[in-house]
Structure 1
Amino acid sequence: MRESIRFVRRGKIVEIGKVDPMTTLLDYLRLSEGSTGTKEGCGEGDCGACTVAIGRSRGGKVVYEPVNACIQLLGMVDGSEIVTVEDLADGPTLHPIQQAMVEKHGSQCGFCTPGFVMSLFALYQGTEGPVDRDEINNAIAGNLCRCTGYRPIVEAGLSVCAAPRDDKFRKTVEDMAGILDFITDERDVFIGDDQRFFAAPASIDGLAALYAQHPDAVLVAGATDVGLWITKQLRELPKIIHLGRVRGLDGIEDTGREVLIGAAATYAAVEPFMRGIDPDLGELFRRIGSKQVRARGTVVGNVANGSPIGDTPPALIVLGASMELRRGDRARVMAVEDFYIDYGKQNRAAGEFVTGMLIPKLRADQVFRCYKVTKRFDQDISSVMGAFRFTLDDQGVIQEARIAYGGMAGIPKRAKGAEAALQGAGIRDAAAWSKAFEALREDFAPMDDHRASASYRAETAHALLGKALLEAAGTPSSRTRLVGRREDYVHAAE
């Protein structure tokens, strides 16, 4: 067992033996190290002012990802390189991204500028050829600016990524990968005592044993939710177990019939596999949080936190996804929809944790659609999330309908009345549609909160069901998207 964490800063290995479980990476950088270029803005992973780049060795090279330091726990960076805005310049020479921000007038007050620079740095390192405006916009969707405006920042990103990549990080990438491999081992990390600790087991058996011994501990994968418990709810979390070092828990496998994902697999890693199941699923994943959130947040964590407005559960429910849970030496499998009992209550025993998930792929006779409705298009929490899967025979008769919503009840929930109304009906049967709309009003008594009123949610759920049916039916001349699936624009031609 190792009683310290190790990471790399400016080419040197840093080892810390005393780490409070609740210490954030931002607090370490600003208060302990004095690296104040990284700013604290919202404290909840929304504004991006605290963005840093985390480098990890993968396949003999260093992969840099943007991370919100305000909600990243210090213990979670074990085995990685931490890059902040102070580290980019090569002596007196600014990094190409910094120079482009100067030349394109991408900064006014400057508070948000370090975060933008670090998000663009991650894009710069993760791409080779020129990038387009959409890629720049996606890279900086998690960074907010209220004085400069985004046009000069986007232009800075476009200009610097149009040139060949050439900086000191590229020149030393093999050496850094070697250093990161050197500090990475397969020992369990445990810092503290039985009353207060940060732990990062290296094996699934070690995790099971530790959690059975401390069922009151908080499990953390990406901390994109738990981090807010610390910064916003001011909760005391004396025992934290991090899942990020467990061997194999970040695994992803496409078997041809389903996709298997581990509990520590991030949104960013899973997204291509979800896009392979259906374009709507890929777009849903792209709109979850920001690049910073998707680099650390996990799909299983989104399910396990039990939020009624979680983005992924409705889609996973209609796809028939299942999850494996483990407690000590015993494991069991349950459908995702059976995991939710009531608001804030999940079908999980003390000391039991989710190890992974199985997501069935669509068959040729199935049509899938999902829609996320938010106040902002990017980086916002759902007001209503709707997911739909229709199984059709050769005559267009609905053999099975699976419909689920988030934001409509205290838990993600299926609309079983609407499903029954569509069973056995033709996909273009207007009478069946009307019955489904009426049944939908009985399926839910939507909640009122600051994101949306109950009446808005009810009408939106109605509209989303109609939209899904229109698209599944291929109704001629139906234009149902501003962005997304292009095939919906060409039904009339077909």
Structure 2
Amino acid sequence: MQFILNDELIDDNTLPSDFTALRYLREKRGLTGTKEGCGSGDCGACTLLVGALEDGELRYSTLNSCITPIQSLAGKHIVSVEYLSKAGELHPAQQAMVTHHGSQCGFCTPGFVLSLAGLYENAQRAEQSIDREAVCDAISGNLCRCTGYRPIIDAGLSMSDMASSVEPFTELMSQNNQVKTQLESLQKEPKHSRNYLQPTDLEQLAQALKANPAATLIAGGTDLMLENTQRYRDFDTLIDVSCVAELKQLHVAETTLTIGASVTYSELEAFSKTQYPQMNALLSRIASRQIRNRGTIGGNVANASPIADLPPLLLAFDADIQLLKNDGSTRAVNIADFYLGYKQTQLAKDEMIASFDVSLDKLAQFHRFYKVSKRMEDDISSAMLAVRFAVDNGELTDVRLAFGGMAATPIRGRKAEAALTGKRINDEHALNQAIEALRSELTPMSDMRASAAYRLDMACNLIRKAWLELNGTDVVTFSGHAVSDSILSTGLEASTHA
């Protein structure tokens, strides 16, 4: 296993497969600027910047080192907070935090600084300005308990001014030719170690599975690694499928959008930004930027959590799931048949999800995705609705109402769908019938996030909201981080937003 840590080339094959990047930095390298807060990828105190070569360009992204196996970062450039300050000069992100008093106890500060540094580096490389929404997105996975976010946001917005008002800090990390050259050399080296395998195609994956039948598969590991950090489970051999080219496909064919199982949330988010803005808006509400940079679409579905956000989306589009056996054979299962019960799926022990196929015709129909949660980011749904309406000459010819967070599995409101199908799009009587039908068929659960009554009321209101949007009503909704200053200062407008 080889990677670059700050400005040092590391070659180490002595580590357990599940040894986290956080532990490696603190215990093996003495780099204690990276902090452990939650140990579950929720607080961002352990944030790292990681650079990888993509089409010859060096791009950096953030991740939670507490749930990232260090061996998964083979062939990459790992940047800890200690790397940012050189020869007594502060990085613009650090200087901005100092200038705007963005730190009190300081425990969370290294994570915030690296999240802001990543934003600064990527914005400068792309010659883009940094606005409030970009700053809030960058720090969406960083929690602060004492400073308050306003000075931190102010710091993020002033980074470019810091860089232009002082002697240039250093060349952008993405323009560091020495790092690029080293990473190009590392790409030619095998990433395998004795207990952590990183196949790059299906042939190598088949060989790895054959040689290690008891191995555990890992992709982003944002859920799997909690078994290690929270339940103290030790893994033996891990096979990392995140680099398998065939599982990374993301393309539009003649009739179908194909999404590979190892595509990350961030990759799908970038892909959908212009083509599928409603999908993009939902993805921006999932977890945090650090998690979206690691978590995969296949992992979200295979994990079979009843509050996962992507299964309702796929259910609304009647997506087909391509399953891949260890022997290379495949079979297709519709998303409606995939879930068998709580945490139970059609996946056999020798199978994995390879990809998802979504009809372009259905993607072209009216669709909306609504997520209700207590926080805008880094939070789990209290209720989730994915809706699709097919319309022909003002009549609803096909209706999908798919819910998450309502039952042991993602479910459809079939009686409500039937009440709307065949009706005019502006038939409010049909809408009311659908809502009554939904009340009779849904039996939501109660937990710490919401009561059953709240979930049912919210489900009914979200259907009405979708119907209003279908009929051209401009329904105000939060879909990002760009809230007005008046909301932040007085809260008077907050009640107008759903």
Distance 2:418 2:283 in 1: 29
Distance 2:276 2:58 in 1: 30
1:183 alignment counterpart: 186
Matched, 1:386 2:375: no
SS at match of 2:247: coil
1:490 alignment counterpart: none
Contact 1:212–1:351 under 8 Å retained in 2: no
Contact 2:315–2:336 under 8 Å retained in 1: yes
SS at match of 1:226: coil
Shift of 1:66: 0.6
Contact 1:45–1:70 under 8 Å retained in 2: yes
Are the structure 2 counterparts of residues 359 and 448 from structure 1 closer, same or farther at C-alpha, using a change threshold of 3 Å? same
SS at match of 1:189: coil
Distance 2:267 2:34 in 1: 26
1:481 alignment counterpart: 477
Contact 1:188–1:202 under 8 Å retained in 2: no
Letter in 2 for 1:235: R
TM-score (norm 2): 0.90
Distance 2:275 2:318 in 1: 13
Q: Among residues 91, 94, 98, which one is paired with 1:98 in the alignment?
A: 94
1:156 alignment counterpart: 155
1:279-290 paired onto structure 2 within 5 Å: 279-290=277-288
Shift of 1:244: 2.2
Contact 1:314–1:412 under 8 Å retained in 2: yes
Distance 1:332 1:184 in 2: 33
Shift of 1:236: 3.3
Single out whichever of 324-333 and 156-165 deviates more from structure 2.
156-165
SS at match of 1:326: strand
Matched, 1:293 2:296: no
Distance 1:242 1:365 in 2: 34
CA RMSD of aligned residues (A): 2.1
Distance 2:170 2:320 in 1: 45
TM-score (norm 1): 0.91
Task: Give CA deviations for 1:362-382 in whole Å, capped at 9, x if unaligned.
Answer: 559721011000011111011
Task: Give CA deviations for 1:172-193 in whole Å, capped at 9, x if unaligned.
Answer: 52321221121123746142xx
2:103 alignment counterpart: 107
Work out the number of aligned pairs and report it: 473
Contact 1:324–1:355 under 8 Å retained in 2: yes
Are the structure 2 counterparts of residues 330 and 452 from structure 1 closer, same or farther at C-alpha, using a change threshold of 3 Å? same
Shift of 1:392: 0.5
Shift of 1:263: 1.9
Q: Among residues 197, 217, 224, which one is paired with 1:219 in the alignment?
A: 217
1:135 alignment counterpart: 134
Letter in 1 for 2:270: P
1:430 alignment counterpart: 428
Contact 1:441–1:458 under 8 Å retained in 2: yes
Task: Give CA deviations for 1:75-101 in whole Å, capped at 9, x if unaligned.
Answer: 110110100000111222111211121
Single out whichever of 163-172 and 312-321 deviates more from structure 2.
163-172
Instruction: Give identity over the alignment, percent.
Output: 41
Letter in 2 for 1:94: L
Q: Among residues 256, 259, 262, which one is paired with 2:260 in the alignment?
A: 262
1:489 alignment counterpart: none
Are the structure 2 counterparts of residues 482 and 56 from structure 1 closer, same or farther at C-alpha, using a change threshold of 3 Å? closer
1:83 alignment counterpart: 79
2:493 alignment counterpart: none
Shift of 1:218: 2.5
Single out whichever of 346-355 and 242-251 deviates more from structure 2.
242-251
1:443 alignment counterpart: 441
Contact 2:57–2:174 under 8 Å retained in 1: no
Are the structure 2 counterparts of residues 161 and 123 from structure 1 closer, same or farther at C-alpha, using a change threshold of 3 Å? same
SS at match of 2:14: coil
SS at match of 1:98: helix
Shift of 1:480: 4.2
SS at match of 2:245: coil
Shift of 1:255: 2.8
Provide structure 1 residue ranges, at least 5 long, that are not aligned to the other structure. Answer: 192-196, 487-494
Shift of 1:261: 2.1
Q: Among residues 226, 232, 236, which one is paired with 2:230 in the alignment?
A: 232
Are the structure 2 counterparts of residues 209 and 245 from structure 1 closer, same or farther at C-alpha, using a change threshold of 3 Å? same
Are the structure 2 counterparts of residues 369 and 159 from structure 1 closer, same or farther at C-alpha, using a change threshold of 3 Å? same
1:333 alignment counterpart: 332
Contact 1:365–1:391 under 8 Å retained in 2: no
Contact 1:43–1:232 under 8 Å retained in 2: yes
Distance 2:254 2:169 in 1: 39
Single out whichever of 103-112 and 182-191 deviates more from structure 2.
182-191
2:496 alignment counterpart: none
Distance 1:303 1:75 in 2: 25
Provide structure 2 residue ranges, at least 5 long, that are not aligned to the other structure. Answer: 483-498
1:68 alignment counterpart: 64
Single out whichever of 177-186 and 373-382 deviates more from structure 2.
177-186
SS at match of 1:323: strand
Distance 1:482 1:183 in 2: 43
Contact 1:259–1:273 under 8 Å retained in 2: no
SS at match of 2:374: coil
Distance 1:171 1:204 in 2: 31
Distance 2:401 2:362 in 1: 17
1:408-423 paired onto structure 2 within 5 Å: 408-423=406-421
2:348 alignment counterpart: 349
